[in-house]
């Protein structure tokens, strides 16, 4: 094989690998998410995570055989967004996905939000902003997560007090419980 043929073959291989990487599924979602201005988690936009949750939540007879085989072997294919309970960067994505029209996605995201343990004060402004969202599910989870922050969420007390007047009963109840949790945390020495 001549040097010219080797060079042509090598460049063709490199070009094919670059094209495959550029048109892969995550790359498509990254470009689309960037174009739409979606929030990102672990380098992937909310539309990617939404699709991953939908694929994960499919009925057993709709799941391809290779995914069933991976589950049987014990390799969990649950999206990382649903299992990461310490990363506050997941909160914006989860709030976007809890508004999804697919009830299965809403339920899966609800369970993920229920397991979420916010630990930093940086999440308080995000949660206070979410208390003013038009979707009751987002307001409910924002109030619930503020209560879990305890004393760190003292700055959110005025927003939670306003949330007591929310027309949605679940939001009202979550705000009431969160205010009680914040006060209990303040009372402890």
CA dist 39 and 168 (Å) reads 27
Q: Is the pTM of this model over 0.75?
A: no
Q: Which residues contact 78 (CB under 8 A, 6 or more apart)?
A: 56
pLDDT computed for residue 176 by the predictor: 93
Domains and CATH numbers, the chain: 30-187 (1.25.10.10)
CA dist 47 and 34 (Å) reads 10
pLDDT digits (tens, 9 = 90+) for 74-117: 555 667 667 666 676 777 787 777 777 777 777 777 777 777 76
pLDDT in tens, the chain (189 residues): 688 777 787 777 777 655 555 555 677 777 878 888 888 877 888 888 877 777 766 655 555 555 555 555 555 566 766 766 667 677 778 777 777 777 777 777 777 777 776 666 677 888 888 888 888 888 898 898 888 888 888 888 999 999 999 999 999 999 999 999 888 766 555
């Amino acid at each position: 094989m001549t040097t010219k043929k080797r060079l042509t073959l090598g460049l063709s291989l490199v070009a094919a690998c670059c094209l495959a990487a550029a048109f892969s599924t995550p790359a498509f979602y990254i470009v689309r998410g960037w174009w739409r201005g979606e929030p990102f988690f672990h380098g992937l936009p909310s539309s990617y995570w939404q699709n991953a949750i939908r694929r994960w939540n499919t009925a057993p007879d709709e799941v391809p055989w290779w995914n069933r085989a991976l589950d049987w072997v014990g390799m969990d294919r649950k999206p990382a967004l649903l299992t990461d309970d310490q990363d506050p960067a997941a909160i914006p994505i989860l709030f976007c996905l809890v508004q999804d029209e697919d009830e299965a996605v809403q339920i899966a995201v609800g369970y993920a939000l229920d397991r979420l343990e916010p630990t930093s004060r940086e999440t308080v402004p995000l949660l206070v902003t979410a208390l003013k969202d038009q979707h009751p599910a987002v307001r409910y989870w924002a109030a619930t997560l503020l209560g879990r922050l305890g004393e760190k969420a003292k700055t959110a007390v005025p927003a939670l007090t306003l949330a007591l007047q929310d027309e949605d009963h679940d939001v009202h109840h979550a705000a009431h419980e969160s205010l009680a949790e914040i006060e209990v945390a303040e009372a402890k020495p």
